[in-house]
């Protein structure tokens, strides 16, 4: 009871610098307590402290704490520090990166929570989550690999394409992972303004250059960049080892992309693929792609 009372009082006193330093030191010591409840409260308290020292203590405890529930609490504490941009938040993100790494963290639930925290940090522009997600595509946990594909799909940027393409072509992956990766490749919508929008954007860039200001629309946004997606999807279809379900999903994803670079691929599939179902799907998709060129 005395320890719980101290931890409660420490949390109340964290508003002053002296109380922070003294309290953090004591909370760090409590992370080594044989009492699970006290270690949990210590982790929560350190997560509320805006001091780099608390990050170092939490990071160190991740490697020594044997109880999964406490490591999950430590991940939540590190996430809190990172999301609120407390001092030491960059170090907190590095600690979360270690917690998401199956070479360091043995528990799949802890790795998943850390990965989700990194994903949220990416949404808050605190870091680029793609390297972590690409690494998790090789995680030993099927759930972690599935989550990585899902998060890369939600990210939906050109940076997500290589990782998804690798997973789609990786024959060591479970079929469910490959299917989701193939589906995700078709769901990434790269920026395209359309004919009228491109004309407006070009005018904006021309005027901005004359005035010496920064254009509202970047020049890179004026071109479509779907060729890499089509390349990965075409490789799936062309692989004789690909099942009909994988090939069909690849054709459907090509149809979602609707880029002219897919026309030669679709014609090749129509002429050469062994599966009637795949050829029929390719015919349907080709008609949609050709029609979209005149929209």
Task: Report pLDDT digits (tens) over 274-285.
Answer: 999 999 999 999
Task: Report pLDDT digits (tens) over 199-228.
Answer: 555 565 566 566 665 554 454 544 456 889
CA distance 88 to 53: 8
268 burial (CB, 10 Å; 0-12 / 13-18 / 19+) is middle
Q: Are 224 and 247 in contact (CB under 8 A)?
A: no
| Contacts of 216 by beta carbon, 8 Å cutoff, 6+ apart | 201, 204, 208
Read off the tokens for 213.
């200001």
Domain 22-127 in CATH 1.10.260.40: no
Confidence (pLDDT) at 84: 87
| Contacts of 249 by beta carbon, 8 Å cutoff, 6+ apart | 179, 182, 183
Closest to 75 (Cα-Cα) out of 102, 98, 49, 51: 98
Task: Report pLDDT digits (tens) over 110-123.
Answer: 999 999 999 999 98
Confidence (pLDDT) at 22: 74
Confidence (pLDDT) at 223: 46
Q: Looking at per-residue confidence, does 86 or 251 come out higher?
A: 251
CA distance 264 to 238: 12
3-class DSSP state of 115: helix
CA distance 147 to 152: 9
Task: Report pLDDT digits (tens) over 169-210.
Answer: 999 999 999 999 999 999 987 654 444 444 555 565 566 566
Query: Would you kindly state where each structural domain of the chain is located, as residue ranges?
Result: 22-127, 191-224
Q: Are 75 and 113 in contact (CB under 8 A)?
A: yes
Task: Report pLDDT digits (tens) over 234-251.
Answer: 999 999 999 999 999 999
Phi, psi of 49 (to 5 degrees): -90, 135
State mean pLDDT over 258-275.
93
CA distance 290 to 263: 8
- Residue 41, pLDDT > 80, answer yes
- Give alpha helix (H) positions in the chain: 2-12, 17-30, 36-47, 52-64, 68-83, 89-99, 108-123, 130-136, 142-155, 160-169, 175-187, 194-211, 227-238, 244-257, 263-272, 276-292
- Residue 14, pLDDT > 70, answer no
CA distance 249 to 214: 41
Confidence (pLDDT) at 88: 87
What's the chain's average pLDDT? 85
Q: How far apart are the first and last CA of the chain?
A: 72
Quote the distance between the C-alpha of residue 182 and its chain's center: 16
Band of residue 260 on the pLDDT scale cut at 50, 70, 90: confident
Q: Are 246 and 178 in contact (CB under 8 A)?
A: yes
Supply angle C-alpha 287, 292, 294, rounded to 5: 110
Task: Report pLDDT digits (tens) over 137-158.
Answer: 999 999 999 999 999 999 888 8
Q: What is the 3-state secondary structure (H, E, C) of 24-85?
A: HHHHHHHCCCCCHHHHHHHHHHHHCCCCHHHHHHHHHHHHHCCCHHHHHHHHHHHHHHHHCC
CA distance 34 to 54: 20
């Amino acid at each position: 009871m005395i320890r719980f009372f101290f931890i409660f009082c420490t949390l109340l006193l964290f508003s002053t610098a002296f109380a922070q330093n003294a309290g953090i030191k004591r909370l760090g010591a409590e992370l080594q307590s044989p009492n699970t409840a006290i270690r949990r409260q210590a982790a929560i308290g350190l997560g509320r402290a805006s001091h780099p020292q608390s990050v170092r203590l939490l990071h160190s405890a991740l490697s020594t704490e044997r109880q999964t529930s406490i490591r999950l609490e430590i991940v939540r504490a590190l996430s809190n520090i990172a999301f609120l941009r407390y001092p030491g938040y960059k170090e907190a993100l590095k600690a979360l990166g270690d917690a998401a790494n199956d070479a360091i963290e043995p528990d799949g639930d802890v790795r998943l929570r850390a990965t989700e925290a990194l994903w949220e940090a990416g949404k808050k522009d605190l870091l680029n989550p793609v390297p972590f997600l690409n690494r998790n595509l090789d995680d030993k946990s099927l759930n972690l690999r599935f989550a990585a594909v899902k998060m890369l799909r939600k990210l939906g940027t050109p940076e997500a394409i290589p990782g998804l393409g690798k997973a789609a072509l990786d024959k060591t992956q479970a079929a469910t992972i490959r299917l989701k990766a193939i589906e995700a490749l078709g769901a990434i919508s790269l920026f395209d303004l359309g004919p009228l929008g491109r004309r407006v954007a070009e005018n904006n860039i021309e005027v901005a250059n004359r005035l010496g200001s920064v254009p509202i629309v970047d020049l890179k946004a004026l071109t479509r960049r779907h060729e890499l997606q089509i390349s990965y999807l075409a490789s799936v279809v062309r692989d004789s080892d690909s099942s009909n379900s994988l090939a069909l999903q690849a054709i459907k994803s090509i149809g979602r992309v609707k880029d002219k670079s897919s026309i030669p691929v679709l014609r090749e599939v129509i002429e050469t693929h062994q599966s009637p179902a795949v050829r029929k799907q390719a015919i349907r998709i080709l008609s949609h792609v050709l029609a979209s060129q005149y929209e």
